[in-house]
């Protein structure tokens, strides 16, 4: 089985696991329990950001988010104790991975670059081809994936039962110290929804601080948000993504992207538009990390892409001058939220 098939099978397996899990627990106390008002988590939303929509059966509380943060940073989640979620989603890189493609247990090499988790709670679908709908469902995928954490869920539950801080954390979050895979994935998802980033020079400029952007970045802003660069058609709205799938002109590889889900020919080579928030610190770029720098990305778009039969009509030679390319680069660099990259409430709680 090649890597892509393995991934496909794992995705299917994890979905059926989830369905089983939901069926199994639908009579359990965790489903549909609304925590008392005073315990609900209050999201610190930047101005202009929409509300975070939580699943009805997983409303966040401070304690659940805290448990999720401990799990996110815990290498006990991987078979040989070598990696945590945070090993591939690093805070200083806006929760993305500086490796071109991910490296799992026993140095197993994956096929894709780990995307930033900044504002992941707003994504309408997850993974580069959008095959998973909720963070609760997604969380199981890296845990059981052989090229990522390669962990058995029952082994994980047994292992965590032996780690004493978890007894208190689970009790605080869920009312008793019973550890289940459903509680683990729900807590991880609750933490992930708090990974919110929206305090950038660009946001400050939007809110009226006229000196927050340099003259060059301002000219870049005009290229980005007009037909000159046409970036905004796909990377629009508050999170710089339309949340749908396009081919942005990258040449073909065996990764067929959205086609894996729809089996529709026109979806071959289409991937979910990623957010551009914190893009300066999330290199390398694209679903397979093939581009090393923002200069290379700008070159790619300026050349009208490498040619792909499903390339979006918006991808065409832009003929940007050297100065315009630099302006666009400076605009992209104005999307870095420095505070977010070291914020304590998102950092490793075990340290």
- Residue 287 lies near ligand HEC (rule: CB under 6 A): yes
The answer to whether 67 contacts ligand HEC (rule: CB under 6 A) is no
Q: Which is nearer to ligand HEC, 201 or 274 (CB)?
A: 274
Assess 110 for contact with ligand HEC (CB under 6 A): yes
Task: Single out the residue of 156, 271, 324, 335 in contact with ligand HEC (rule: CB under 6 A).
Answer: 271
Which 3 state secondary structure label does DSSP give 61? strand
Residue 43: other Cβ atoms inside 10 A: 15
Which position among 10, 127, 190, 335 is part of the footprint of ligand HEC (CB under 6 A)? 127
Closest separation in Å from C-beta 85 to ligand HEC? 3
Q: How many residues does the chain have?
A: 351
Q: Choose, by CB under 6 A, the member of 63, 149, 151, 341 that binds ligand HEC.
A: 149
* Per CB under 6 A, 305 contacts ligand HEC: no
Q: How far, rounded to the nearest angstrom, does the alpha carbon of residue 214 sit from its chain's CA centroid? A: 29
- Residues near 22 by beta carbon (within 8 Å), at least 6 away in sequence: none
Distance of CA 44 to the CA centre of its chain: 19
Nearer to ligand HEC, 135 or 341 (CB): 135
Interface segment toward ligand HEC; rule CB under 6 A; list 51-59, 86-94, 158-166, 198-206: 86-94
Nearer to ligand HEC, 209 or 265 (CB): 265
- 88 belongs to the binding site for ligand HEC (CB under 6 A): yes
Q: Is 2 exposed, middle or buried (0-12, 13-18, 19+ CB in 10 A)?
A: exposed
CB of 38 to ligand HEC, least distance (A): 27
Evaluated on CA atoms 64, 183, 178, 104, the torsion sign reads negative
Query: DSSP secondary-structure letter at 49?
Result: P
Cβ density class 202-228: b for 16+ within 10 Å, e for less: bbbbbeeeeebbeebbbbbbebbbeee
Distance linking the first and last C-alpha atoms of the chain:
40
| Interaction residues for ligand HEC, span 4-63 (CB under 6 A) | none
Instruction: Kindly report the backbone phi and psi dihedral angles of residue 266, in degrees, each rounded to the nearest multiple of 5, phi listed first.
Output: -70, -5
Near ligand HEC by CB under 6 A, which window of 27-35, 42-50, 83-91, 342-350? 83-91
Report whether 344 contacts 288 (CB < 8 A). no
The residue (of 209 and 264) whose beta carbon lies closer to ligand HEC is 264
Selected from 21, 198, 229, 305, the binder of ligand HEC by CB under 6 A is 229
Cis peptide before 223 (omega within 30 of 0): no
Applying CB under 6 A, the residues found at the interface with ligand HEC are 77, 83, 85, 87-89, 102, 104, 110, 112, 114-115, 117, 120, 123, 126-128, 135, 138-139, 142-143, 148-149, 188, 192, 229-231, 233-235, 246, 248, 250, 271, 273-274, 276, 279, 282, 285-287, 297, 301, 312, 314-315, 328
């Amino acid at each position: 089985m090649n890597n892509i098939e393995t991934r496909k099978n794992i995705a299917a397996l994890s979905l059926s696991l989830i369905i089983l899990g939901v069926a199994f627990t639908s009579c359990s106390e965790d489903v549909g329990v609304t925590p008392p008002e005073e315990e609900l988590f209050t999201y610190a939303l930047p101005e202009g950001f929409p509300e975070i929509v939580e699943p009805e059966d997983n409303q966040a509380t401070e304690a659940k988010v805290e448990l999720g943060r401990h799990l996110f940073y815990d290498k006990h989640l991987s078979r040989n104790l070598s990696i945590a979620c945070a090993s591939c989603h690093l805070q200083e890189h806006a929760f993305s991975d500086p490796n071109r493609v991910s490296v799992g247990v026993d140095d197993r090499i994956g096929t894709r670059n780990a995307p930033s988790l900044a504002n992941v709670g707003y994504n309408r679908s997850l993974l580069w081809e959008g095959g998973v709908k909720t963070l609760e469902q997604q969380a199981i995928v890296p845990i059981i994936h052989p090229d990522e954490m390669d962990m058995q869920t029952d082994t994980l539950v047994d292992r965590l039962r032996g780690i004493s801080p978890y007894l208190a954390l689970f009790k605080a979050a869920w009312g008793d110290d019973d550890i289940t895979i459903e509680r683990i994935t729900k807590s991880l998802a609750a933490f992930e929804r708090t990974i919110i980033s929206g305090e950038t020079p660009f946001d400050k400029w939007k809110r009226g601080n006229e000196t927050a952007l340099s003259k060059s970045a301002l000219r870049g802003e005009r290229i980005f948000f007009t037909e000159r660069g046409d970036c905004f058609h796909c990377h629009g709205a508050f999170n710089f993504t339309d949340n749908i799938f396009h081919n942005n002109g990258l040449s073909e590889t065996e990764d067929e992207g959205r086609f894996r889900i729809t089996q529709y020919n026109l979806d071959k080579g289409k991937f979910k538009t990623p957010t551009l928030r914190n893009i300066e610190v999330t290199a390398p770029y694209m679903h397979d990390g093939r581009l090393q720098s923002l200069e290379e990305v700008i070159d790619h778009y300026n050349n009208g892409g490498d040619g792909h039969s499903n390339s979006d009509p918006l991808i065409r030679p832009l003929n940007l001058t050297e100065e315009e390319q630099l302006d666009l680069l400076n605009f992209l660099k104005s999307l870095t939220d420095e505070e977010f990259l070291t914020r304590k409430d998102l950092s490793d709680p075990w340290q």
